[in-house]
A and B are shown apart, each in its own frame.
Chain A
Amino acid sequence: MLLTFDTATPLVTVALHDGDEVVRELVSELPMRHGEQLAPLVDTALREQGLVRQDLTAIGVGVGPGPFTGLRVGLVTARTLAYALEIPVYGVCTLDVLAVEAADSGAVAGPFAVATDARRKEVYLATYDADGVRLDGPVVDRPAELAAGLAAGLPVVGEGAVLYPEAFPDAVGPTRPSAGWLARVIAEERAELRDPEPLYLRRPDAVAPGTPKKVS
């Protein structure tokens, strides 16, 4: 039984995949409560399926890019849970999950881009072929800057497109990644399986201090 979750967007999404199909999928109700909601959702998913922790054989986690605080909740949970259960853990770029869903659900018919909300008036963006295989990215920048680099009329999937219609007028398909699709991506090896390392794409905001301020 594969357990997957993604915390790279405001909502937490959790799924169980039995090797053939997704058997359970849960999404949190409140945004920005990753730390409080992820563990209970995992616990609930297992219990409602009549499963115990020893039934889990692998863990899959969205590695972002996404807001750092939530991202870390998912990654530390995945790594620690996998360590405790002595099972493997796979990371998948969160944008790849949206891309595979968009391609498989027929939301796009040719090449496209995926954009998610990076806050600070920026988006994370990557480009994909018609099958949802990543061609370039992910990168982070202002919507207008990134849109200028895209072919005119290229469909853009994800919340980043919905939030910035002026830059991305051709918004289509799913807006947020789902753990169910993350599970399918891993089970069917539809995207690069990576180490569970966060894709921050930004350095920490920190500046070295100058000389101490005068007080008199």
Chain B
Amino acid sequence: MTVTDEPLVLGIETSCDETGVGIVRGHTLLADAVASSVEEHARFGGVVPEVASRAHLEAMVPTVERACDTAGIALRDVDAIAVTSGPGLAGALLVGVAAAKALAIGLGKPLYGVNHLAAHVAVDQLEHGALPDPCLALLVSGGHSSLLRVGDVTGDVTPLGATIDDAAGEAFDKVARLLGLPFPGGPHIDRAAASGSSVSIDFPRGLTSRRDLERHRFDFSFSGLKTAVARWVEAREAAGEPVPVADVAASFQEAVCDVLVRKALDAAASEGIDHLLIGGGVAANSRLRAMAEQRAGDLGIRVRVPRPGLCTDNGAMVAALGSEMVRRGRPASGLDIPADSSLPVTDVLV
């Protein structure tokens, strides 16, 4: 099969604050255009849904146009349209789903409404080739923290665990705010932590006590950690002492990564899976990547992490999953599919 025989798929992603349009042919990435409204949210310290939805509407057609230009294709050459139909912010998802339906009608091509979390997994095929079956996926971002067992990314995804309160990325944002660092917090904490000591403060590891492990073996909790950091910082301030930002950032980051990696590897071992895939915006964290690779290596588990640009929300991941749907002959979605803000991860194709 030559490369040009493979279907050309355009993917749209609008589940949060990034308007993403990606174009792939098979496993080959041709374009990954992203328009972000993150700067408009920065002064609010978090994503404002209405601001994100307005930005998606304005960015949609220009981003589709840019993706086609980058890929060097004409829009009419696209063989299928894929779109994130959930989970995510309801009003934001709706803009992408409506745009995808309009493309499907306007081009006379099939539509695939897909699950955002499965798309985070599928995107790795663009970098590292076909996914091992099965693989264990750790997805961590401002919106999600999940452990998944992935047999077939187009239809067999089983949730093993998830956060019971804040998402990992949310904890990064909140701690960054405590430390006076800008939004989004992830990259700033990562940078500040580089010059700090990760063992200087012993922050709690959520849901790792023996009792918690009985009920929440593969679940996460970051709200206690966030509170512990706040208490620690407040105590310093109350005592009139300077806050060692780098040490707090490093110790906090160590606590988050430790729990994420420990639980992911425990899940892999318990499922007998020897491939760990990490995705989502937090996968861009340098400590998480280093720690995962080191500890997994000791256990003989292979780690796959897409490059940072493909870990954060983007259209390429949706196109990658759509491409897999076409390749496996999955049935196209109807034009009446909803945007489902709480779409379960088991519903990979809507």
Q: Are these two chains actual partners, yes or no?
A: yes
Residues of A at under 8 Å CB distance from B?
34-40, 42-43, 53, 68-69, 72-73, 75-81, 83-85, 198, 200, 204-209, 212, 214-216
The reply to whether B336 and A84 contact each other, CB–CB distance below 8 Å, is: no
Report if B102 contacts A (CB, 8 A): yes
Report if B108 contacts A (CB, 8 A): yes
Q: List 13 A-B contacts (CB under 8 A).
A: A42-B105, A76-B56, A76-B57, A76-B95, A77-B98, A80-B64, A80-B102, A81-B102, A84-B107, A85-B106, A206-B50, A212-B230, A215-B234
A residues less than 8 Å from B198 (CB atoms): none
B residues less than 8 Å from A77 (CB atoms): 98-99, 101-102
B residues less than 8 Å from A79 (CB atoms): 60-61, 102
Identify which of B22-30, B40-48, B246-254, B300-308 touches chain A: B40-48
Q: How far is the CA of A83 from the CA of B61 in the complex (A)?
A: 7
The reply to whether B64 and A215 contact each other, CB–CB distance below 8 Å, is: no
Q: A29 → chain B, closest Cβ, in Å?
A: 12
Interface residues on B, range: 35 or more
The reply to whether B51 and A206 contact each other, CB–CB distance below 8 Å, is: yes
Q: How far is the CA of A42 from the CA of B103 in the complex (A)?
A: 13
Contact A39 to B60, CB < 8 A, known contacts A205-B50, A208-B45, A209-B45 = no
The reply to whether B98 and A35 contact each other, CB–CB distance below 8 Å, is: yes
Q: How far is the CA of A35 from the CA of B337 in the complex (A)?
A: 8
B residues less than 8 Å from A200 (CB atoms): 54
Contact A204 to B102, CB < 8 A, known contacts A80-B61, A215-B231 = no
Q: How far is the CA of A35 from the CA of B177 in the complex (A)?
A: 36
B residues less than 8 Å from A37 (CB atoms): 336
Having A53-B108, A84-B106, A209-B45, one finds 16 other A-B pairs with CB under 8 Å, namely A36-B336, A36-B338, A42-B105, A43-B105, A68-B53, A73-B98, A76-B57, A76-B102, A79-B61, A80-B61, A83-B65, A84-B75, A200-B54, A204-B48, A206-B48, A209-B177
